[in-house]
Chain A
């Protein structure tokens, strides 16, 4: 395996590094968000609105519900932490269907709960296994949908049916960080009508392209929101983040362009992966899981092409990398690089034709425990 220091560019036009490791929106935020920050910058001497009420009101209008159903976090990371501090107390158990976003487990662990991990079935969470693991100590279930790093989503009917089997006193957190990219953008909100003890998380970091500003939000019943609010510090989100998120939310035309592009980019990527016979998991997000035989070696090799991707060995997926879906020129660079690595390295498999979804590695908590 190549060392990270051997970063010799191997293609002529690869003068700059493209970071495809963090699922950021490569189009960036709406220009209106940028302008809004520039207009507001001179106001930074004043405290932000303590709750971010103008943004909460705008979210309520956007989702056609009331302001009391929303709260803001310094990224949805903060919200996960606040929820964990309240529900993942010592003596309780938290079920984290895995592999998933690592803070679900780490925040709950830090708060003192025991973490119970359940696995996948055909790349989707094994929801029956979650039900099997419920006991009287279970206080919280945290589910990413669409899920990171698999990129898969669970459909509305399945989730509705599953939620109905979860005891009412267990809080379910549905993290919809990638919901805008999914096939069912209204899913979380619809489920909130069905179940009281549910919190939906959303973020401006992904489709809205504002990862650098740390702003996410929770949606839930006013009672639940009040409890999470009581845990947070005052002024948790700064003035410019409020301003930018509000402008980004109001620019739905830009969001639609982002989402439209992602569909087109995904189609180009799928075609290229089929040509190279690289197996992959169909994505409902802005990233994709690729089967490359050896995650760490592939991500190191891609560095020599100045492409950064996420090897998933920490998630127990030692043969997979996760790649952000970018514009055509980025996809082309990625495909050229993958083609060369594939032809040079015996561990990089050539899938059968037509390309199938890769076989999911054996599920079970031993893979994802950390």
Chain B
């Protein structure tokens, strides 16, 4: 195995999150999945595409999907790419911009998977802390890393940088600024317009969260045509299968359904946050479909364990900077009432 990169041999590899074996007995509020099913039009499109044509290769360019996304976001087709989950885009953006030994940056905390992807590419990582007021600590006047990921809204904290703040940040990045808008549909604003205004901005989206299509692996990016062209060169040429392509088009075209689901989740989130505050919890304002909540005693582990024993699964992070709280995904109003009841009992 002398040909292997040392970085790969040394890698710990990805450790998947906990999935209970008897899933239906649990209330799962740990993976930020949408409590509502996908649009009925998506299911109809999948059913319609499930026929003998599955023997045929899919459209390698995913043209229908690109057209649907371009129309929705007001860009021309060559500013859009669809992918096998936004993870594929995050991975290929690193591969496109950072060579082995180059540096990329992101915030701490944010999506922990960036570090894994950097490690695969052999890129170095630099992380920056930030305050509850969204001030990024010690960020240089001009960050020289090849790429900077801004998860916006932030996961797991939910904090959301304004368009002006992101525009300012893009001016301070010498490389690409990738605004990972996995949860932006749950937020008041987004940075799509910045792509036109700023040369180095890439916006990525996923259909896993707001569109409830985590099982289909669909993500997309909006950026300048030259970056799209690079991503097209790098990607696996049949990266999206027939059913994923059919689902993407139907989902993006059914905005009425999306907006309705999102409105319900956001209303539940804002109500849940107030209820938690009444119980003495500190909860950051969230632009996502989750909240980060700290109990009065700042002992996240205790509350996590107590919820776990009641078969309610939330996300606890052992990282000392986060161990004072929990990330709780927003389910239906009924599910959150059950959760509040449990939290009241736990105290």
Residues of A within 8 A of B (CB): 19, 22, 24-29, 33-34, 37-38, 41-48, 50-51, 74-75, 77-78, 81, 86-87, 89, 92, 103, 110, 139-140, 169, 171, 205, 209-214, 223, 226-227, 229-231, 233-241, 244
What mask results when residues 85 to 98 of chain B are scored 1 for a CB within 8 Å of chain A, else 0?
10110010000000
B236 touches A75 (CB 8 A): yes
Which residues on A sit within 8 Å (CB–CB) of B217? 48, 235-238
Which residues on A sit within 8 Å (CB–CB) of B241? 74, 212-214, 238, 240-241
Chain A residue with minimal CB distance to B50? Answer: A37
From residue B300, how far is it (CB to closest CB) to chain A in Å?
Answer: 23
B243 touches A240 (CB 8 A): yes
How far apart are the CA atoms of A344 and B217 in the complex, in Å? 51
What are 26 A-B interface contacts by the 8 Å CB criterion? A27-B55, A28-B53, A38-B50, A42-B37, A44-B43, A44-B247, A45-B214, A74-B241, A75-B236, A77-B238, A89-B5, A169-B2, A205-B57, A211-B57, A213-B241, A214-B58, A214-B241, A223-B1, A233-B87, A234-B87, A236-B84, A236-B217, A238-B241, A240-B215, A240-B216, A241-B243
How far apart are the CA atoms of A87 and B3 in the complex, in Å? 6
Chain B residue with minimal CB distance to A211? Answer: B57
Q: Which residue, A26, A38, A234, has most C-beta atoms of chain B within 10 A? A: A234
A226 touches B37 (CB 8 A): no
A34 touches B88 (CB 8 A): no
Q: Which residue, B85, B113, B117, B215, has most C-beta atoms of chain A within 10 A? A: B215
How far apart are the CA atoms of A51 and B16 in the complex, in Å? 9
A240 touches B238 (CB 8 A): no
How far apart are the CA atoms of A357 and B244 in the complex, in Å? 43
Chain A residue with minimal CB distance to B85? Answer: A235
How far apart are the CA atoms of A209 and B53 in the complex, in Å? 9
Which residues on A sit within 8 Å (CB–CB) of B58? 211-212, 214
Which residues on B sit within 8 Å (CB–CB) of A230? 8, 11, 13, 120
A209 touches B215 (CB 8 A): no
B87 touches A244 (CB 8 A): no
Known: A22-B56, A234-B113, A236-B84. A45 touches B3 (CB 8 A): no
Known: A34-B54, A240-B243. A74 touches B215 (CB 8 A): no
B8 touches A86 (CB 8 A): yes
B213 touches A45 (CB 8 A): yes
Number of A-B contacts (CB under 8 A): 171
Which residues on B sit within 8 Å (CB–CB) of A29? 52, 54-55
Say whether B332 faces chain A, with CB atoms less than 8 Å apart.
Answer: no
How far apart are the CA atoms of A45 and B46 in the complex, in Å? 13
Mark out the residues of chain B between 1 and 46 whose CB falls within 8 Å of any chain A CB in the assembled complex. Answer: 1-5, 8-9, 11, 13-14, 16, 31, 33-34, 36-38, 42-43, 46
The answer, among A226, A237, A240, for a CB contact under 8 Å with B46, is: A240
How far apart are the CA atoms of A38 and B43 in the complex, in Å? 9
A44 touches B216 (CB 8 A): yes
Chain A residue with minimal CB distance to B233? Answer: A110
Which residues on A sit within 8 Å (CB–CB) of B54? 28-29, 33-34, 209-213, 244
B56 touches A78 (CB 8 A): no
How far apart are the CA atoms of A58 and B204 in the complex, in Å? 35
Given contacts A87-B3, A214-B238, 11 further A-B contacts (CB under 8 A): A24-B55, A29-B54, A44-B215, A45-B37, A47-B215, A74-B84, A74-B239, A89-B3, A213-B243, A231-B8, A233-B85
Which residues on B sit within 8 Å (CB–CB) of A244? 54
How far apart are the CA atoms of A227 and B1 in the complex, in Å? 10
A239 touches B55 (CB 8 A): no
The answer, among A38, A45, A211, A212, for a CB contact under 8 Å with B215, is: A45
How far apart are the CA atoms of A234 and B208 in the complex, in Å? 13
Question: 7 closest A-B pairs (Cβ-Cβ)?
Answer: A239-B215, A28-B52, A212-B242, A45-B212, A44-B215, A212-B54, A139-B3
Instruction: Please report whether the interface of chain B is mostly helix, strand, loop or mixed according to DSSP.
Output: loop
Say whether B47 faces chain A, with CB atoms less than 8 Å apart.
Answer: yes
Say whether B278 faces chain A, with CB atoms less than 8 Å apart.
Answer: no
Give chain B's interface residue range (CB within 8 Å of chain A).
35 or more
B214 touches A46 (CB 8 A): yes
A41 touches B47 (CB 8 A): yes
Chain B residue with minimal CB distance to A224? Answer: B1
From residue B94, how far is it (CB to closest CB) to chain A in Å?
Answer: 11
How far apart are the CA atoms of A223 and B1 in the complex, in Å? 10
B84 touches A44 (CB 8 A): no
How far apart are the CA atoms of A216 and B58 in the complex, in Å? 15
Chain A residue with minimal CB distance to B215? Answer: A239
A48 touches B3 (CB 8 A): no
Mark out the residues of chain B between 238 and 260 whose CB falls within 8 Å of any chain A CB in the assembled complex. Answer: 238-244, 247
From residue A145, how far is it (CB to closest CB) to chain B in Å?
Answer: 22
From residue A147, how far is it (CB to closest CB) to chain B in Å?
Answer: 19
From residue A1, how far is it (CB to closest CB) to chain B in Å?
Answer: 26
Which residues on A sit within 8 Å (CB–CB) of B113? 234
Chain A residue with minimal CB distance to B90? Answer: A233
B243 touches A37 (CB 8 A): yes
Which residues on B sit within 8 Å (CB–CB) of A231? 8, 120
Which residues on A sit within 8 Å (CB–CB) of B215? 43-48, 238-240
Mark out the residues of chain B between 49 and 108 whose CB falls within 8 Å of any chain A CB in the assembled complex. Answer: 50-58, 84-85, 87-88, 91
Which residues on A sit within 8 Å (CB–CB) of B236? 74-75, 77-78, 81
B91 touches A233 (CB 8 A): yes
How far apart are the CA atoms of A302 and B38 in the complex, in Å? 44
Which residues on B sit within 8 Å (CB–CB) of A22? 56-57
A50 touches B16 (CB 8 A): yes
Which residues on B sit within 8 Å (CB–CB) of A47? 31, 33, 208, 214-215
How far apart are the CA atoms of A47 and B214 in the complex, in Å? 5
From residue B45, how far is it (CB to closest CB) to chain A in Å?
Answer: 10
How far apart are the CA atoms of A144 and B282 in the complex, in Å? 60
Which residues on B sit within 8 Å (CB–CB) of A139? 3
Q: Which residue, B4, B88, B117, B243, has most C-beta atoms of chain A within 10 A? A: B243
How far apart are the CA atoms of A241 and B247 in the complex, in Å? 13
Which residues on B sit within 8 Å (CB–CB) of A48? 214-215, 217
Which residues on B sit within 8 Å (CB–CB) of A212? 53-58, 241-243
From residue A68, how far is it (CB to closest CB) to chain B in Å?
Answer: 13
Which residues on B sit within 8 Å (CB–CB) of A81? 236
The answer, among B8, B47, B216, for a CB contact under 8 Å with A238, is: B216
The answer, among A77, A86, A210, A237, for a CB contact under 8 Å with B4, is: A86
B8 touches A19 (CB 8 A): no
Which residues on B sit within 8 Å (CB–CB) of A213? 54, 241-243
Which residues on A sit within 8 Å (CB–CB) of B52? 28-29, 34, 209
A41 touches B213 (CB 8 A): no
